[in-house]
Amino acid sequence: MAEVRGGLHYPRSIGEFQAWFRTDADCLDYLEWLRWPHGFECARCDGVGGWRTGDRRIMCAACGHRTSVTAGTIFDKTRTPLTVWFTACWSFATAKDGISALSLQRSLDIGSYQTAWAMLARFRSVLAHPGRKRLSGVVEVDETYIGGEEPGLAGGRAQGKKVLTGITDAWMGYHGLAGLGYAHRRRSQRAARARGEDPAALLPAVHRVASLAKRWLLSTHQGAVEPAHLQSYLDEFVFRFNRRRSGSRGMVFYRVLELAAGHEPVRYRNITAGNKPRKTSPVPPAGRGHPPSLDRVTAGRPWRAAYLPYSG
């Protein structure tokens, strides 16, 4: 695709988003277009072209393999309606700082916190690019501790919960940098402090990024990130940081869905990494099961039929 354009390839506003994706079928068609912009391609035989079957599946014209638009993507076997997925993705992509699982659960009437958390975790899992380019030019590298503060413990820090995080594209300690073609210029913050200088001024960019990342984890996610999940949150942070000047949030929505449609399925056990997501605050009693579709049908202006008591 030569150029991705707002209003044509992705919605530019919430109004356009709502007009485009009124039903689960609209969302499925958009995913199909993202996945196979030039028409169906069979993952089994590489053949092109297929037939639609009655059950919203596609049958390969060459080998007869039956598949669906969502099979083999992060939406594989999902029981959450696509209108809910799309609305979640719109919130995830267009809110500058993202969205917490708790807000998502509440705003979309999702039955369990874990379901909402797993949806966001699946979006997060597609944001890291294994093939990304190495950093070039002057690269500031530092390490910092993330987490460790427990709400409710006055000024206390729970032992063993802090995670040492290296801020560079290919963290491996400082040894081995030369072998990668980098010249290592060591800057001692301790020495700067001894000279009475601001140690943060030695590496201004990396300090800014580290404090932004920590602030983001504390604000959007209320600091409730398990060490086992930290890397995926940092992937999300990096994705947002690199797009912080993007004029079009709709473009970010497009990008996340495009990655999601091209990403292999992500199983719950893989995203939890043995650590069940924990709630950050009490959740109001909610219904069970999966959220209802957000298919929009005309509601018949219910407010016209409602009794509105006069006040005063």
163: β partners: 146
What is the closest distance, in whole angstroms, from the C-beta atom of residue 271 to Zn ion in the complex?
A: 30
Distance CA 65, CA 52 (A): 12
Query: Which C-beta is closer to Zn ion: that of 51 or that of 268?
Result: 51
User: Is 43 near Zn ion (CB under 5 A)?
Assistant: no
Part in contact with Zn ion (CB under 5 A); list of ranges 40-48, 139-147, 157-165, 276-284: 40-48
Query: Which C-beta is closer to Zn ion: that of 53 or that of 246?
Result: 53
Query: Which C-beta is closer to Zn ion: that of 44 or that of 276?
Result: 44
Structure tokens at 93: 């992509």
Q: Which of 5, 37, 39, 44 binds Zn ion (CB under 5 A)?
A: 44
Distance CA 202, CA 195 (A): 12
Distance CA 111, CA 101 (A): 12
Distance CA 126, CA 50 (A): 27
Site for Zn ion in 76-105 (CB under 5 A): none
Number of residues that bind Zn ion (CB under 5 A): 8
**CB-based contacts of 138, cutoff 8 Å, min separation 6:** none
Q: Which of 42, 110, 120, 121 binds Zn ion (CB under 5 A)?
A: 42
Give the residue ranges of DSSP H helices in the chain: 14-20, 24-35, 82-94, 101-108, 113-125, 189-194, 204-219, 230-242, 249-261, 268-272, 302-305
What is the closest distance, in whole angstroms, from the C-beta atom of residue 280 to Zn ion in the complex?
A: 46
166: β partners: 143
Q: Which of 14, 19, 25, 45 binds Zn ion (CB under 5 A)?
A: 45
Site for Zn ion in 175-214 (CB under 5 A): none
Query: Which C-beta is closer to Zn ion: that of 68 or that of 220?
Result: 68
Query: Which C-beta is closer to Zn ion: that of 47 or that of 292?
Result: 47
**CB-based contacts of 122, cutoff 8 Å, min separation 6:** 74, 260, 266, 271
Q: Which of 59, 62, 212, 286 binds Zn ion (CB under 5 A)?
A: 62
Query: Which C-beta is closer to Zn ion: that of 64 or that of 176?
Result: 64
Part in contact with Zn ion (CB under 5 A); list of ranges 59-67, 114-122, 145-153, 264-272: 59-67
Name the strand (E) or helix (H) holding 145: strand 143-146
Distance CA 185, CA 68 (A): 53
Query: Which C-beta is closer to Zn ion: that of 31 or that of 42?
Result: 42
Handedness of CA 94, 98, 101, 106 (dihedral sign): negative
The site for Zn ion (CB under 5 A) is made up of: 42, 44-45, 47, 60, 62-63, 65
